[in-house]
Amino acid sequence: MRAPVLAIVGRPNVGKSTLFNRLAGRRIAIVEDLPGVTRDRLYAEYRSDIDNVDVRWTIIDTGGFEPNPSSELFALVREQTQLAIEEADVIIHVVDAQLGLSPDDVEVATLLRKSGRKVMLAANKVDHPNHEALMADLYGLGVKEIFPISASHGRGVADMMEHAFTLLPQELQDGARAAAVDEDENFAIDDKTLDEALDDAEATLNQLEERSGTVDDDLDENAGDEDAEDDGADDEAAKAAEAASAAKRARFLRAVPEVLRIAVVGRPNAGKSSFVNKLLGEDRHLVSDVAGTTMDAVDSFVEYGGSRFRVIDTAGIRRKRSIAHRVEKYAVVAALRGMDRADLVLHLIDAVAGVTEQDKRIASFVEDKGKACIIVINKWDLAKEKELDAEEYARRIREELPFVDHAPVRFVSAKTGKRVHDVLQSCQDLAKRHFLRVSTSQVNRALLDAVAAHQPPMIKGKRFRLYFATQVKTAPPTFVIATNDVEAVHFSYKRYLINRFREAFDFGGAPVRIIFRRREGDRLKQLSPAQKRNRELKRRDNETTTTTPRRRGESKNPEAAPKRRGATRAGGGRR
């Protein structure tokens, strides 16, 4: 079963995009009192309640349909509209009730009748019941029923969509109900969530310590497998505790989605639409040598290697001073929102033009939004004519884009199709890193090793302490570290820890985030977890008779024992 598809069709400037935005519940299509502003066909989801059951449609906005296109660009728009008609199960033909019937409306109605699809006529801009008298001449289109609506105010829209649902066969009605699953993972991590994550992490570590008496023995990622026969019950208890902790934050710790969302970004005319068209194998997006042909963020679907991808082709992001027209400003906003909806970003760079200032701005946007990134060097067929070396070019790219210097670099030619589909395999590999979940024990082993290799710097004669850490989010991988002084952590040491985590867990091109959180309460104001453990070991040693042999290499004073594995936790220090 699949969700039904509804296409919105009509001549230019009758309010199709306004209706589309109304149904989508947010501003996706660009709306201006200019014909031809919408060029590509846009996709979104419409959710509603039918008989107390949620349903979901896929809705398509199309460009203004001209029977006799006035320019080459409008001819391309007409082709896009015809493709949308072929995809649709139900079509809403939008006309302007205020202007009345026009010859173009008649031409569009004739085309839609020939399509064999279910068609509804929506008379838009009927903002008041008194305006319904304006619809009389619209019956000249040969329809039995006209739906008066106001896309701007929402009047009549719900009734129209309820009727559209009744036109669907039972299979598609069932598909609409099955598809009505909310998908909203962009949650902010608040302070309460961070504190709960640290509480759960400390409880997990304490369970591990009670079993073994040391931390380090259990920070080995394979320890559970090796000791399964002797400590199976304890291992299962520790795993269960961590699983329960993760369940509390399931909305943050997401797995790789079934449909990976990829945003294709870059400055204007870098070849984004040509690249997407080559991926799809169809002229899904308008392609022109004129920069700025794509003005909306447009979604498409492609399958590769048994996986499904949702590809978002965004408008070219221009420098602010070049956005002379209000419509192009909206296009930049649509591109940035396209990034927000994506799991991964493909940053296309023109191989001949190289990295520009705007490419650097785009890279900073990608990093700020925490998106995994692949840098795609397009038009490499032209660059090879200039005898450019790929390895040297990639090195220079990383130097010029320090925001995403961890991102993999791929060389393609959208024109010839060379290595274009290889990028999807790279997306699959990167997604595994971007959505990777790391156990609390592994995180603390990496933190312990990092601090052992490079102690935190001294600030005014004091060294801040890092107690323990845990992962609180995937996509991007985000970790919270308990410390006694958040302000003392210098950005350079934070960058050092990020690089150590990236190396330890092979995050590759995925961005890594670290949040430092001060631990409050008398318990941690007085002692760190490492000090508590050492004092407990000392107390036990004092209670033991002098005839009890100590383990080889063990000191009488556990706090001063440099050979005891795990005697301190990261940054805990020895006293």
- Rounded CA-CA distance 208/206 in Å is 5
Q: Which helix (H) or strand (E) holds 300?
A: strand 298-304
Same domain as 129, residue 47? yes
Q: Which residue has the tokens 């001073």?
A: 321
Dihedral of CA 502/508/509/510: which sign?
A: negative
3-state SS track over 428-489: HHHHHHHCCCCCHHHHHHHHHHHHHHCCCCEECCEECCEEEEEEEECCCCEEEEEECCCCCC
Same domain, 236 and 285: no
Sign of CA dihedral 195, 200, 202, 203: positive
What pLDDT is stored for residue 546 in this prediction? 41
Residues 6+ apart with CB under 8 A from 251: 185, 187
Question: Would you say residue 185 lies in a domain?
Answer: no
Where among 405, 434, 463 does a domain terminate?
A: 434
Q: Tokens for 29?
A: 């299509």
Question: Which DSSP letter does residue 96 get?
Answer: E
pLDDT digits (tens, 9 = 90+) for 191-219: 888 888 888 888 888 777 666 654 443 33
Convert the pLDDT of each residue in 160-182 to its tens digit. 999 999 999 998 898 888 777 54
CATH number reported for the structural domain that contains residue 75 in this entry: 3.40.50.300
570 occurs within a structural domain: no
- Reading the chain (575 residues) residue by residue, the pLDDT tens digits are 567 889 999 888 888 888 998 888 865 554 444 444 444 557 777 888 888 888 888 888 887 766 666 556 566 677 777 777 887 899 999 999 988 888 888 988 988 988 889 999 999 999 888 888 888 888 888 888 999 999 999 999 999 999 999 999 998 898 888 777 544 344 457 788 888 888 888 888 877 766 665 444 333 333 333 333 444 545 555 555 555 555 555 556 777 888 888 988 888 778 887 888 888 876 554 444 433 444 445 677 888 888 888 888 665 444 444 433 444 433 444 556 667 778 899 999 999 889 988 788 788 888 888 889 999 999 998 877 777 789 999 999 999 998 888 999 999 998 888 999 899 999 999 999 999 999 999 999 999 999 999 999 888 788 888 999 999 998 889 999 999 888 889 999 999 999 999 999 999 888 999 999 987 543 344 455 665 666 566 656 655 544 444 444 454 444 444 444 444 455 554 43
Q: What residue ranges in 100-155 does DSSP mark as E strands?
A: 118-124, 146-148
Instruction: For the full predicted model, state whether its pTM sits above 0.85.
Output: no
Judge if 95 and 200 occupy the same domain.
no
Please give the pLDDT value at position 311: 85
For helices 440-453 and 191-212, angle between their N-to-C axes, nearest 10 degrees: 90
Q: What CATH number corresponds to the domain at position 452?
A: 3.30.300.20
Q: What is the pLDDT of residue 230?
A: 42
Contact 139, 106 (CB under 8 A): no
Phi, psi angles (nearest 5°) of residue 563:
-95, -10
Indicate whether 384 and 460 sit together in one domain: no
d(CA 23, CA 161): 9
Find the Cα–Cα–Cα–Cα dihedral 136, 140, 144, 147, rounded to 10°: -50
- What integer pLDDT is reported at residue 429 of this predicted model? 92
563, part of any domain: no
Residues 223 and 347 placed together within one structural domain of the fold: no
475 in a structural domain: yes
- Is 237 among the domain residues? yes
Domain boundary among 145, 178, 211: 178
Asked, for residue 522, whether it belongs to a domain, the answer is yes
Q: What six digits make up the tokens of 200?
A: 């759960």
144 and 218 together in one domain:
no
Whether 109 and 133 share a structural domain: yes
- Give the pLDDT score at 200: 84
**φ/ψ bin of 389: left (φ > 0), alpha (ψ from -120 to 50), beta (otherwise):** beta
Q: Answer whether 111's CB lies under 8 Å from 62's CB.
A: no
Residue 573 lies in a domain: no
Under 8 Å between Cβ of 350 and 393: no
d(CA 161, CA 319): 40
> What digits encode the pLDDT tens for the residues 427-447?
999 999 999 999 999 999 999
Predicted pLDDT at 540: 65
Whether residue 429 is found in the same domain as residue 441:
no
Residue 538 lies in a domain: no
Among candidate residues 178, 210, 234, the one where a domain is terminated: 178
Pairing of the two strands 462-463 and 458-459: antiparallel
- Please count the structural domains in the chain: 3
Torsion angle (degrees, nearest 10) of CA 456, 460, 461, 465: -40
Give me the pLDDT at residue 470, please: 93
CA distance 286 to 134: 36
Same domain, 121 and 217: no
Q: 421 and 448 share a domain?
A: no
Do 479 and 386 share a domain, yes or no? no
* Nearest Cα residue to 82 out of 66, 94, 70: 66
Residue 538 exposed, middle or buried by CB count within 10 Å (0-12, 13-18, 19+): middle
> 476 preceded by cis ω (within 30°)?
yes
Among 480, 297, 508, CA closest to 407: 508
252 Cα distance to chain centroid: 12
Give the pLDDT of residue 462: 84
26 and 162 co-located in one domain = yes
Domain extent at residue 240: 191-251+437-526
Strands 462-463 and 478-483: unpaired
